[in-house]
């Protein structure tokens, strides 16, 4: 058990997710974004779909990567695998951010920001105090829902009173 590599085990089982670092391709990506040649998704999908030889061409679209290979920082096979993994990681991150953004657009973000502000400036002595505060907000919202339901039911009943 002394030789057990927990980090390796977790990484193999995808329980531990670390960002993939590839500065050369990050530079290429930033240049693409600055030039506004297309969407981030298009660029990243292009990296994923690129043929291995495209990463070796100093006159091609991945100059920084090709230079890194030529200078011996990466071997060609390693660079291609790393580039594709980097792009896939970035693409999945964009998808996750898009989902979060869509969820924020439901109008609740304003209220969440207010609650977060209260948490930042409130005086809570423990995590349990924070949980209690949030639970009370949830209970209050449930009471408001019940009250509003009653208001609308009363309004409907008033419409039919002659």
pTM over 0.75: no
pLDDT tens for each residue of 22-72: 777 787 778 777 777 778 888 888 888 888 888 888 887 788 888 888 888
The DSSP line for the chain is -TT--HHHHHHHTT-S--PPP-HHHHHHHHHHHHHT-S-HHHHHHHHHH--GGGGT-TTSTTHHHHHHHHTTSS-HHHHHHHHHHHHHHHHHHHHHHHHHHHHHTTTTHHHHHHHHHHHHHS--SSHHHHHHHHHHHHHHHHHHHHHHHHHHHHHHHHHT--
């Amino acid at each position: 058990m002394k030789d057990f590599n927990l980090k390796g085990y977790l990484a193999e089982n995808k329980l531990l997710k670390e960002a993939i670092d590839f500065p050369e391709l990050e530079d290429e990506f930033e240049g693409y974004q600055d030039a506004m040649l297309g969407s981030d998704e298009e660029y990243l999908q292009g990296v994923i779909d690129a043929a291995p030889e495209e990463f070796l061409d100093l006159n091609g679209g991945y100059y920084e990567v090709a230079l890194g290979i030529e200078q011996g920082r990466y071997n060609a096979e390693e660079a291609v695998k790393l580039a594709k993994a980097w792009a896939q990681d970035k693409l999945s991150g964009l998808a996750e951010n898009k989902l979060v953004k869509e969820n924020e657009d439901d109008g609740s973000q304003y209220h969440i920001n207010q609650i977060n502000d209260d948490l930042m400036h409130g005086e809570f002595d423990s995590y349990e105090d924070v949980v209690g505060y949030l639970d009370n907000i949830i209970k209050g919202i449930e009471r408001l829902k019940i009250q509003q339901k009653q208001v609308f039911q009363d309004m409907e009943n008033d419409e039919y009173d002659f």
